[in-house]
Structure 1
Amino acid sequence: MSNAGSTPGTAPGSAVFARLPDLREGLADLYRDLHTHPELSFAETRTAGLIAERLRALGLDVTTGVGRTGVVGVLANGDGPHVLLRADFDALPVTEQTGLPYASGTDGVMHACGHDMHVACLLGALDLLAGGRAYWTGTVTAVFQPAEETGAGARAMVDDGLFDRTGKPDVVLGQHVGPFPAGSLGCHAGPALAATDALKVTLHGKGAHGSRPEAAIDPVVMAASTVMRLQTVVSREIAGSDTAVVTVGVLNAGTTQNVIPDTAELKLNIRTYTEEVRKTVLAAVRRIIEGEAAAAGATRTPDIEPIETFAVLVNDDDAMDRTATAFREHFGTERVFDPGPATGSEDCGTFATASGAPICYWFFGGIDPDTFAKAEAAGTTARDIPSNHSPHFAPVVEPTLSTGVEAMTTAALTWLSPDPENRR
């Protein structure tokens, strides 16, 4: 697959893509700049400023500070459908280990999920749409969202009056770069991304000297027993036909080797697709945590606090079919596949739920195709291909960037057509 990006197809509106070759270098520079300057959730002030500056240069009506650091640009072009295009732009508290010349310049912060790529792709699509007004009618609302990683950004923008400012869209379109071959697109109708429940658990014991465990109620042992018992929730309480993931990502206890502490802290991440399974898992998790504390002789019930919550993202069947059909026409059938549901989570669905519009959300690959093919042939993709949130995750600039720009533009044109015959 050529690093020059794909060749635009012959579907209606393809003339809009004529300027893409001229945009690639500038968009790549922007992507590398964003990657070097990552910002955490609700602290994306530099990123928001760059986005707003570019939107104004394209002639969009720009509003900043929506949901704290969110940016909204509106491109109105006569009567027609109203399409919301969304990109997120926060980074993660991860120390980058890619070794790239444009690696993060901020210690302990990295664009490990590809949100910098999302921004560059949406800005590229808006540039094409703004320069191709003769080929579509309607309104494009570009939503650049903060704090996706905490599950709070989309809700913050909605609660801050996003739809009072822009009106409600007819469809919500979004995309995410992932560990697939660059140049490919993954489209799955129905439940596409899982719900998340993140919990903070504080186990209360009784501290004592390390030499006198009989005088303590050891929260470290309590935590260890809890972690191991939690591994049985999915394997013994969830049917094989259902899906759930329970992960303990944090276990903190104590300050030195010869002191048994008073407390231990766990942080859990739970993924499910249905409300029934979600309730079953949450009830089992609570029962096990409280049961292990009781078995250890704890004199106080553990504290279980929610940290963040994401709803299931459910792609509308008709919206996905319509958009994926356009992708196959533009890119070729061989480049569009169904990845199945993913256990990752996303809050983009909040915009659809809050507005009552259908959502179509897809993935585009970011891994060098030859590298991916070799790992796939060896059966080592899980080991050798860095996934999102890895300190080694870094999409190849091309053809990832061009594919993301073309995909977002193609999806928008599918819903923004001046002629019903051209709506595919």
Structure 2
Amino acid sequence: MTSPAARVALDLTSDLPVAGLEDFYRDLHRHPELSYREHRTAVRLAARLSAAGFETAEGIGRTGVVGLLRNGEGPTVLLRADMDALPVEERTGLPYASTVPGVMHACGHDLHITWLAGAAEALAAGRDAWSGTLLMVGQPAEESGGGAAAMVADGLYDRFPRPDVLLGQHVVPGPVGGIAHVPGLIMSATTDVEIVVHGRGGHGSRPETTVDPVVTAAFLVTRLQTVVSRELAPREQAVLTVGRIEAGTAANVIPATARISLNLRTQSGSVRDRMVTAIRRMAAGECLAAGCPREPEVTVGGTFPMTVNDAGTDHRVAAAHREVFGADAVFDPGPAMGSEDFSRLAVDGLPYSYWFVTSTPPALWDAAPGDDVLRRSESVPSNHSPLFAPDPATVPTGVRTLVSGALSFLSVA
């Protein structure tokens, strides 16, 4: 038996303006904007929210957008979409590819904004069928990790109603139309670490007069690979990536310093702390062995929190999605090593549900090697790839997931 909320969701999304939403998506994709520079994107989203009947405000947390729709007594539900693009040169060859050199919506945030706009329009048009309050949030700077906190610090919950529940979603690779729910931990924490190795520079022809920080950094990069493989138990999921090494200005000059940038992915605070401790120890040991004139500088930088769904909230949304899309469409892939700042909107323990929507074009998915979803997902372009191109067929899917998720909490007539 279909619940009243699911019936209303199907009714409100039965006649979506799919062509218009796809055009909106393609326009956003052509005009990507980096973190805190989402000015055009914010204007475009705010215009659609206003036209749908929302009270709209811009410039929240620098470039964030909020749309508010009060519709009688009932819960307050927050729906969020992130807006920023990445410094990636697009290589999809799409007719609507980025027109901004070196910038691309390589993580699908343009699709997220489209989903949010479509859901806002559908729910506003069908407001006779439900009551409560909707809070639509277009969040800046997810990729840099500061946007959610910036909106909260700028008075998001002082200037607008405090939500009873928060809902968010993200596009990922996989056969079009799948919806991934994990009750509990769904995304990992991330931590950036910078290491500066101090040597003694000199002429490339006289290495004996120097302490070469490049060689020391190379040894350290190799040593760091044992942090996960030899210092953590197999059950303790973690990733350590050396994403950048910088040193030197010329081939015949041994530099005085070398810089290493690391990124950690962890699923518990204790594992993160042990990894940082090991990094400090290994850096100090390699520099001591090399005879460096001073100890290395190890700086813990930016972080993203873990994303941990409230189990009851996520079960409720997943149940609505099963009713709307069918039981086979909803699955549990387990926690991902990716990271998000969505949970920073959930101040003081506000409950939330965050899920994934799969989006690989059928022809590409069918041609991918592998016998299972996991193997195929590793073979097709993924988020942050210059080839990442979600199928526009997921536009109505993402609108319906938000609409049905919201209606599972709003008061339905």
Aligned pairs for 1:282-361 (under 5 A) are: 282-352=276-346, 354-361=347-354
Which of the numbers 141, 144, 156 marks the counterpart of 1:150? 144
Task: Go from structure 1 to structure 2 and tell me whether the alpha carbon gap of 1:383 and 1:129 turns closer, same or farther (over 3 Å shift).
Answer: closer
Q: Are 1:362 and 2:365 an aligned pair?
A: no
Which of the numbers 206, 209, 216 marks the counterpart of 1:215? 209
CA deviation vs aligned residue, 1:309-338 (integer Å, no higher than 9, x gap): 111110011001111011001100011111
Contact 2:130 2:410 in 1 (8 A): yes
Contact 2:92 2:389 in 1 (8 A): yes
- Cα distance between partner residues in 1 of 2:242 and 2:303: 16
Q: Are 1:371 and 2:364 an aligned pair?
A: yes
Root-mean-square deviation over aligned CA pairs: 1.7
Unaligned 5+ residue runs, structure 1? 1-7, 420-424
Displacement of 1:192 = 0.7
- Cα distance between partner residues in 1 of 2:46 and 2:8: 27
Quick check: 285-294 or 311-320, which moved more?
A: 285-294
Contact 1:193 1:342 in 2 (8 A): yes
Unaligned 5+ residue runs, structure 2? none
Q: Are 1:72 and 2:87 an aligned pair?
A: no
Quick check: 266-275 or 382-391, which moved more?
A: 382-391
SS at match of 2:17: helix
Aligned pairs for 1:157-306 (under 5 A) are: 157-306=151-300
SS at match of 2:411: coil
2:54 corresponds in structure 1 to 60
Contact 2:9 2:403 in 1 (8 A): no
Displacement of 1:363 = 0.1
SS at match of 1:384: coil
Quick check: 73-82 or 15-24, which moved more?
A: 15-24
1:422 corresponds in structure 2 to none
Amino acid of the residue matched to residue 407 of structure 2? L
How many pairs align? Answer: 410
CA deviation vs aligned residue, 1:367-399 (integer Å, no higher than 9, x gap): 02343244254575255301111111110111x
Task: Go from structure 1 to structure 2 and tell me whether the alpha carbon gap of 1:199 and 1:20 turns closer, same or farther (over 3 Å shift).
Answer: farther
Contact 2:13 2:400 in 1 (8 A): no
SS at match of 2:243: strand
How high is the sequence identity, in percent, across the aligned residues? 51
Amino acid of the residue matched to residue 389 of structure 1? H
Contact 1:9 1:330 in 2 (8 A): no
Displacement of 1:188 = 0.4
Amino acid of the residue matched to residue 360 of structure 2? I
Displacement of 1:19 = 5.4
- Cα distance between partner residues in 2 of 1:296 and 1:171: 54
CA deviation vs aligned residue, 1:145-176 (integer Å, no higher than 9, x gap): 00001110000001111000112211110000
Task: Go from structure 1 to structure 2 and tell me whether the alpha carbon gap of 1:15 and 1:338 turns closer, same or farther (over 3 Å shift).
Answer: closer
Quick check: 300-309 or 149-158, which moved more?
A: 300-309
Aligned pairs for 1:36-51 (under 5 A) are: 36-51=30-45
Contact 1:16 1:132 in 2 (8 A): no
Amino acid of the residue matched to residue 230 of structure 2? R
- Cα distance between partner residues in 1 of 2:207 and 2:235: 44
SS at match of 1:412: helix
Task: Go from structure 1 to structure 2 and tell me whether the alpha carbon gap of 1:102 and 1:357 turns closer, same or farther (over 3 Å shift).
Answer: same
- Cα distance between partner residues in 2 of 1:9 and 1:386: 37
Amino acid of the residue matched to residue 344 of structure 2? T
Q: Are 1:391 and 2:386 an aligned pair?
A: yes
Task: Go from structure 1 to structure 2 and tell me whether the alpha carbon gap of 1:78 and 1:209 turns closer, same or farther (over 3 Å shift).
Answer: same
Quick check: 185-194 or 12-21, which moved more?
A: 12-21
Contact 2:80 2:139 in 1 (8 A): yes
SS at match of 1:117: helix
TM-score (norm 2): 0.96
- Cα distance between partner residues in 2 of 1:74 and 1:324: 25
Task: Go from structure 1 to structure 2 and tell me whether the alpha carbon gap of 1:263 and 1:97 turns closer, same or farther (over 3 Å shift).
Answer: same
CA deviation vs aligned residue, 1:72-110 (integer Å, no higher than 9, x gap): 111110010010100001011111111111111111111
Amino acid of the residue matched to residue 28 of structure 1? E
- Cα distance between partner residues in 2 of 1:130 and 1:175: 20
Aligned pairs for 1:126-137 (under 5 A) are: 126-137=120-131
- Cα distance between partner residues in 1 of 2:143 and 2:269: 22
Quick check: 19-28 or 404-413, which moved more?
A: 19-28
Displacement of 1:11 = 5.7
Contact 2:9 2:404 in 1 (8 A): no
SS at match of 2:344: helix
Contact 2:21 2:114 in 1 (8 A): yes
- Cα distance between partner residues in 1 of 2:179 and 2:310: 17
Task: Go from structure 1 to structure 2 and tell me whether the alpha carbon gap of 1:295 and 1:10 turns closer, same or farther (over 3 Å shift).
Answer: same
SS at match of 1:394: coil
Amino acid of the residue matched to residue 386 of structure 2? P
- Cα distance between partner residues in 1 of 2:292 and 2:318: 55
1:3 corresponds in structure 2 to none
- Cα distance between partner residues in 1 of 2:15 and 2:369: 31
